[in-house]
Chains A and B, each alone.
Chain A
Amino acid sequence: MNKTTPSKTHSDYLLSLRRQTIKVRISQLLIFVLFFSLWQYSSDQKWIDPLLFSSPKKIVALLIHKIADGSIFLHIGMTLTETVIGFLLGTLFGTLLAALIWWFPFLSRVLDPYLVILNAMPKVAIGPILIVALGPNLTSIVAMGILISVIITTIVIYTSFRNVEPNYVKVIRSFGGSKYQCFKEVILPACFPAIISALKVNVGLSWVGVIVGEFLVSKQGLGYLIIYGFQVFNFTLVLMSLLIIALLATLMYQLVEALEKKLIKNRTL
């Protein structure tokens, strides 16, 4: 928005920028259309097994049917609730744990190897134990969603707590600020960007956790639909559920990104 720029060259620049964007959008749309038409066509021509790979038309027909009888919303609602709870609690617990470790440096030294091991361990393998312990219900599915994200969140956020410029803390301390004030005024706000990026990663992780959880126990939800589809050999149902999950995960990611823009719009990072 430089006023000294001759307006003609500036408008030229804006125009070329817009052209670029349009080109990108058209290409993206083209890939989308191409992918689904190719899928449909190869299914019609029996290039791929229609029983296994279904086809976009069949999926849409099934979706319309499930929307009409309302059953799909039950499943979506269930899974979405579990995922959002798992995602929020995973990030919250991870941040709290990171704060605890930051507060007690001794604890950080003690816990360090355990965090590394827990992080490397495939958490979904604990799923069956969770279900026996917590019962085959929503709690254990949410727990799965939390479990899968909480350790990596703790590690990422604690690392960013550690990397906060120490001189910011020095400023607070020079005014006689307490440890709690250092945390509240400096450590936490300085790490907002790290917390947001943890949120972004956790969107993906908590979907994995919840779907795996649903595989194991549920009577409802998109994960249940996928497992059920496999069992009755209805791959149209499986693929439909997958597409819905992809769409919802994307929407959730966009939501976090919008939040990010709102929260840290004024900073250079």
Chain B
Amino acid sequence: MAFLQLKSVGQTYFSKQTATTALEDITLSVSEGEFVSFLGPSGCGKSTLLSIISGLIQPTNGSVSLKNQSITKPHPKIGYMLQQDYLFPWKTIKDNILVGLKLQGCLNDERTAYTLSLMSEIGLYDTLDKYPNELSGGMRQRVALVRTLATNPQILLLDEPFSALDYQTKLKLEDLVSNTLREHGKTAILVTHDIGEAIAMSDRIVLFSTKPGRIFRTFPVTSHLRKRLPFEARQHPDYSVMFQQIWEELEQIEQNDTE
């Protein structure tokens, strides 16, 4: 059976004047250890879907379950990393990365040691006593990754984690994140509007259409690309072929949109 299962999930936002259907009939399953990307134009409901999977909002239709357990509120096995790092500027880096454990009431020596070992893994052990404003954008995003991993979630939800970074930093971080998640055997869902990033990082790409957000098509990534780190994958001939293919599909979505 599937690890994560979405059954005809739909979301409608209400305001005084309008009812906006952000998502409609999303059915999808993700297996353990898989890396799935949600790709689509902005406004197609990717962030909404991630918030639903994380249990932060209840879908107006359908259901989400993790290992057959229904998700109705934030779950300790689900880690959510927002688009920007949102490190707390009033806490030191150390207090920032331990905040999840503190909130879940499981801050002990063993978990602290694990979290600190993650910090050395991503090469930021010496920043523990600093404050977030002393770190660069890329460093902060790495710290945010550690903060999410600290509570040892089984599945990570990443909402455009690299979109605010410069290109070079982004490429480096893609490799780092990809490698870290693979080593720790995490399942991941990455939201992005960057075709290249989706191809380079994931095992499977889910393409969304807009208004309302629906699953338009699903692309499995070739095994050549999957076994390579993102940076190498970008050099592989399969990469450009896939890029071209997805590009055309996206064009088609845009055309449907304007019609």
Q: Which residues of A contact B (CB under 8 A)?
A: 165, 167-168, 170-177, 181, 185-186, 189-190, 192, 264, 266-268
Chain B residues with CB under 8 A of A170: 56, 82, 86
Once the chains are docked, how many angstroms separate the CA of A175 from the CA of B80?
A: 8
Chain A residues with CB under 8 A of B56: 170, 173-174
Size class of the B contact interface (CB-based, 8 Å): 20 to 34
Q: Is the CB of B88 within 8 A of A176?
A: no
Once the chains are docked, how many angstroms separate the CA of A92 from the CA of B24?
A: 49
Chain B residues with CB under 8 A of A181: 103
**Nearest chain B residue, comparing its CB with the CB of A174:** B80
Once the chains are docked, how many angstroms separate the CA of A186 from the CA of B100?
A: 13
Most chain B Cβ neighbours within 10 Å, of A170, A186, A266 = A266
Q: Is the CB of A173 within 8 A of B131?
A: no
Once the chains are docked, how many angstroms separate the CA of A144 from the CA of B86?
A: 42
Contacts A170-B82, A185-B103 known; list 4 others, CB within 8 Å.
A171-B88, A174-B54, A175-B100, A190-B90
Q: Would you give 17 A-B contacts (Cβ < 8 Å), ordered by A?
A: A165-B86, A167-B86, A168-B86, A170-B86, A172-B103, A174-B80, A175-B104, A176-B75, A176-B104, A185-B88, A185-B103, A189-B88, A264-B90, A266-B133, A267-B90, A267-B131, A268-B133
CB 8 Å contact bits of B64-85 with A (1 = contact, 0 = none): 0000000001111001101010
Q: Indicate which residue in B54, B86, B90 contacts A192 across the interface (CB closer than 8 Å).
A: B90
B136 to chain A, nearest CB (A): 14
Chain B residues with CB under 8 A of A189: 88, 90-91
**Nearest chain A residue, comparing its CB with the CB of B144:** A171
Q: Indicate which residue in B74, B76, B104 contacts A173 across the interface (CB closer than 8 Å).
A: B74
Q: Indicate which residue in A171, A186, A190 contacts B82 across the interface (CB closer than 8 Å).
A: A171
Chain B residues with CB under 8 A of A264: 90
Give the dominant DSSP class at A's interface.
helix
Chain B residues with CB under 8 A of A176: 73-76, 103-104
Once the chains are docked, how many angstroms separate the CA of A192 from the CA of B89?
A: 12
Check: B151 CB closer than 8 A to any chain A CB.
yes
Chain B residues with CB under 8 A of A267: 89-90, 131, 133
Q: Which residues of B contact A (CB under 8 A)?
A: 54, 56, 73-76, 79-80, 82, 84, 86, 88-91, 99-100, 103-104, 131, 133, 151
Which 10 residue pairs are nearest across A and B when measured between Cβ atoms? Answer: A174-B80, A175-B100, A175-B103, A177-B103, A189-B90, A176-B74, A268-B133, A266-B131, A167-B86, A267-B89
Q: Is the CB of A174 within 8 A of B74?
A: yes
Once the chains are docked, how many angstroms separate the CA of A174 from the CA of B56?
A: 7
Once the chains are docked, how many angstroms separate the CA of A268 from the CA of B73?
A: 34
A185 in contact with B73 given A170-B82, A175-B104, A176-B104 (CB within 8 Å): no
**Nearest chain A residue, comparing its CB with the CB of B105:** A176
**Nearest chain B residue, comparing its CB with the CB of A182:** B103
B164 to chain A, nearest CB (A): 13
Once the chains are docked, how many angstroms separate the CA of A172 from the CA of B90?
A: 14
Most chain B Cβ neighbours within 10 Å, of A176, A192, A264, A267 = A176
Once the chains are docked, how many angstroms separate the CA of A173 from the CA of B56?
A: 7
Q: Indicate which residue in A175, A190, A192, A268 contacts B74 across the interface (CB closer than 8 Å).
A: A175
Once the chains are docked, how many angstroms separate the CA of A165 from the CA of B90?
A: 13
Chain B residues with CB under 8 A of A177: 103
Q: Is the CB of B88 within 8 A of A186?
A: yes
**Nearest chain A residue, comparing its CB with the CB of B88:** A168
Q: Is the CB of A175 within 8 A of B99?
A: yes
**Nearest chain B residue, comparing its CB with the CB of A264:** B90
Once the chains are docked, how many angstroms separate the CA of A171 from the CA of B79?
A: 10
Most chain B Cβ neighbours within 10 Å, of A165, A167, A175 = A175
Chain A residues with CB under 8 A of B79: 174
